[in-house]
Structures are given as structure tokens and as C-alpha cells.
Structure 1
Amino acid sequence: MEIIMAGVSHPAEITIALVHGAFVDGSGWEGVYKILKKDGCPVAIVQNPTISLADDVAATKRIVHAQTGPVILVGHSYAGAVITEAGNDPQVVGLVYIAAFAPDTGESVSTLLKDAQPGTPASSILPPQDGYLYQDKARFPASFGADMDEEKAVFMADSQVPWGEEALNGMISEPAWKSRPSWYLVATDDKMIPPPVQRFMSKRAGSTVVEVAGSHAIYISQPHAVAELIKKAVQGVKGSVI
């Protein structure tokens, strides 16, 4: 079986590219990565600079283009915006959102979180400093990963990666979910992206949705649930091709 994209045929083997969100790096995907690799899935990890949306889209596309066949992009949190834009690449055949943003044309992460902006009481994200955002270290474990190992959550709070305002405010030109099949995992105990917002975005995108009780860091705390949805996405893409 072959998958045809933009007039080019590729082997049916699909690479899964895991894209991290804000304040963290690609190492958070280790649990999901190990499960997928054990099951024989080709996996790549994107390391985004999280300085601007344009830079992160470019970094993601570099990993896509390094693969020899079709790619499914998996994005957590802010990376949902990244894969929504980068997913328009002809080599991308599907999208998986893990407690992630799925903006429409002209939207950004900032516009989708207009009721919980950085620096407000509803947000654990501190006001910008020199164009970058950080989370309150004391509030990080409860806000980001309440169901994670506490020691690991504290380490992540202390090792967090600055998030550029240009990434937060980067607008989508054309959402790839309008032309690619998508899957969405709603984390029902999420304190960073309200579950109703996740449900709104996933419904609008026409995604295949699963709901799992877990924190925003569900990709770390429940890697099996996340990997299961990713594998369903791979099978869904393969099953849609004759």
C-alpha cells in the first residue's frame, strides 16, 4: 500500500513526529516515545526553540523533511498551534492534539486564552520579562502536572524553558485541520487549557476525540493513553487510503 501526497507516492510506513509545547523540551515525550518504539512505530522528536511561532514551524518542518515518507504530527499544548500551521506541508498526513491548541485562521494561542492571560489571577504564567514568559515555580506543579511525580514536576518548574511572546501571539495563516484528519485528547483535569476550550477546538476541527482524566502534563503522566490515541491515528490514516 502506498500513500499519495502532492503527486508523490510514499511507502505506507508513517513516522510519528512528537512536538513539545511551551516551558518544556522534547524530553517530556520519552515515555510515549518508548511505547511507540516498542510497538515498532518510527518516531522523531522535534526540539522547538519556542521563541516565535514561525521559528517553531520551521523547526518542525525540518524534522518532517528529514523523514523519507509520510508524517503524523503530534502536538502538546502550544505545539498544537505549531502543528496546525506546519501540518500544511504536503508530507504531513494527519494531526494529533494532546491537550493542545487548535487555532483557526487569524487566531493565536493568546486569542484562544483571552480570558486567562499571563499575569492574571486565573493564570500561573507570570507577566512577560524582556519578551519572554515563565511560570510561577511554586504554582507550576499544581497547574501543569498535578498528577505527575512531585519531584519531577518540581524539576520541570526549575528547568522550564522561556516562552517567547512572539510564539504566544503568532497567528495561524491556514489551519491544517481543515485539510488533514485529526485526533484530539481532552485532558479533563487540565488547569492550563480549560477542558471546555479543548472541547470547543476539537469539535470545530472535526477531530476524533477521546477524553482522559488527567492534568495538562498527561503526555508525561499517562503515556499509554496518549500512545494509544496516536496509534489509532496511524491506523486511521492507513485505513483511509486504498
Structure 2
Amino acid sequence: MARPTIVLVHGAWADASSWNSVVTALRDMGFTVLALPNPLRGVTNDAAYVASCLGQRTAGPVVLVGHSYGGFVTTNAGLDGGDVRALVYVDAFMPDEGETTFGVLGDSGSALAVPDPTTVLDVIGYPGAPEGDADAFLKPETVHSSFAQDLPEQDRWLIAAGQRPLTLSANMTPSGPPAWRSLPSWAVIGTEDRIIPASAQRRMAERAGATVTEVAASHVSMVSQPRATTEAIVAAATAVGE
């Protein structure tokens, strides 16, 4: 069987550069790697976009990897484009059908699950937004204290300055049927994650029957501890090739 292509999908408040260390390591091992742009407009749009890219930009087996909200997207895109054989979730949502990101976070102890979201988010309107929708950016303090607290200060400021927003509506849109029901999955859980707390990640991973790796890291463990993510992806790729 052909060696799988590794396709990486970033989450909210990030872009494809969040995978840089992982991409470099995987390419050094001889893998073909794509780090796709995630539109961050909502799962219906975002999953369709990723599935379209999978169908048009890959040939042969694929290991599909999602970080954070990117996991919500890959869960919904994994069966709709390309030949996806395995899923890897990195500090990520692994939703079941009907779940929303807000629903998962509601009683989890997440730094985002607060009575007044504007204490942790900067919420601004965007052109053409449906009534009541808006873009949500992390406040710089949220980046420093809860999103990437294990990165050097300079890197945290770069994240705060260059983050891409997620729409509020994206957090309230229910997931469709999950790809993890029919595809093997792996999960990398940052034990110091304050955005999707480890307990919530463990619950979702256990439900999906995922092979779990835990690493002492924040919500951006693929940046601060890229080896754990790389090893989980290689394990998934190896299993696909057996």
C-alpha cells in the first residue's frame, strides 16, 4: 500500500503555520504533508471545504489530523473527500452527532466557559454576518494565560497578533455523523490544556476508542511538544499501512 499523505487542519485563532514543526519532522521522514487552510466560518462550510481539498489535492490513503476546532471539522469531513484511513486529534474536539463546541465546553472548566465571554474574547462584527453573528478573537491575556501558556513570551505575542478569528455561530452549530465511528483514531491530549481541558478530551477519546498519548503541554502541544504529535501521526500512518 502507498504511504499515506498526512493532511493537517488547524484550529481557531491559528493558521497552518501552527503545524510547522510537525510538517518539518514528517517531511524529514519522507511523508507527503499538506497543511490546509481552515476557513473558520462554521462546520458546514469548513468541513465541505476540507473534504473538497482532500478530494482534489490527495491521491491514495490519507491520515487526517485536526487541532482544537480543526478536530470538529475533520470529524465531519473525514468521510466526504479523499481516501481517509485514520484520524488524529491534537488537543481537539471529537464531537458526536448533535454536539456543539459550546456544549462540550459548558461544564468542563474551560477558560472560555465563563458567564461573560467578552472577558476572554474580543467580539467584533464582520461584513455580511447573519444577524447576531460576529467574529471572536482571543484577548491577549487569554493567549498568555490559557491558550499557549507554555510557549516563550515572544511566541505568545505572535499568536495574539496574528490569530484568525472563529465565528460565534461556529460554536453553536451541531456536528454531523462522526467519522471516528468508522475510522481508527489517535488522540494527543495536553494535560495542561485550559481551552479544552484534559478531562473533556479524555471523555471524547474514550468514546471514540482512540489510542491516547498524554503530554505535559498547553492547548498548543503541537507547537510546544511537537514530538508527541509527530509520533501519534506516524503510529496512525503505520497502522494504515499494515
Instruction: Return the TM-score normalized by structure 2.
Output: 0.89
Q: Conserved in 1, the CA contact under 8 Å of 2:96 and 2:178?
A: yes
Q: Bigger CA drift: 220-229 or 29-38?
A: 220-229
Match of 1:135 in 2: 138
Partner Cα distance (1:200, 1:122) in 2: 24
Map 1:17-166 → 2, pairs under 5 A? 17-65=7-55, 66-89=57-80, 91-115=83-107, 116=110, 117=112, 120=115, 125-126=120-121, 128-130=123-125, 131-166=134-169
Where structure 1 has 5 or more consecutive residues not aligned to the other structure, the ranges are 2-11
Partner Cα distance (1:210, 1:124) in 2: 32
Partner Cα distance (2:202, 2:113) in 1: 22
Percentage of identical aligned residues: 38
Residue 84 of structure 1 and its aligned partner are, at CA, apart by 0.5
Residue 33 of structure 1 and its aligned partner are, at CA, apart by 0.2
Partner Cα distance (1:122, 1:199) in 2: 25
1:199 corresponds, among 165, 177, 202, to 202
Partner Cα distance (2:235, 2:116) in 1: 38
Partner Cα distance (1:202, 1:129) in 2: 33
- Letter in structure 1 aligned against 2:160: A
Match of 1:9 in 2: none
Partner Cα distance (1:207, 1:214) in 2: 19
Shift >3 Å, 4+ stretches: 116-125
Q: Bigger CA drift: 165-174 or 189-198?
A: 165-174
Q: Conserved in 2, the CA contact under 8 Å of 1:118 and 1:126?
A: no
Q: Conserved in 1, the CA contact under 8 Å of 2:47 and 2:74?
A: yes
Instruction: Return the TM-score normalized by structure 1.
Output: 0.89
Q: Conserved in 1, the CA contact under 8 Å of 2:4 and 2:240?
A: no
Does structure 1 residue 189 correspond to structure 2 residue 177? no
Residue 118 of structure 1 and its aligned partner are, at CA, apart by 5.5
Q: CA RMSD in A?
A: 1.8
Residue 223 of structure 1 and its aligned partner are, at CA, apart by 1.1
- Structure 1 residues 127 and 30, CA gap change in structure 2 (3 angstroms): closer
Q: Cα deviation per residue 1:31-74 (whole Å; 9 max; x = unaligned)?
A: 00000000001101110110121221122112211111121110
Structure 1 or 2: larger helix share?
A: 2
SS at match of 2:8: strand
Where structure 2 has 5 or more consecutive residues not aligned to the other structure, the ranges are 126-133
Partner Cα distance (2:27, 2:113) in 1: 37
Q: How many positions carry a matched residue from both structures? A: 229
- Letter in structure 2 aligned against 1:72: V
Partner Cα distance (2:40, 2:156) in 1: 20
Residue 174 of structure 1 and its aligned partner are, at CA, apart by 0.4
- Structure 1 residues 122 and 93, CA gap change in structure 2 (3 angstroms): same
Partner Cα distance (1:101, 1:19) in 2: 12
Q: Conserved in 2, the CA contact under 8 Å of 1:118 and 1:125?
A: no
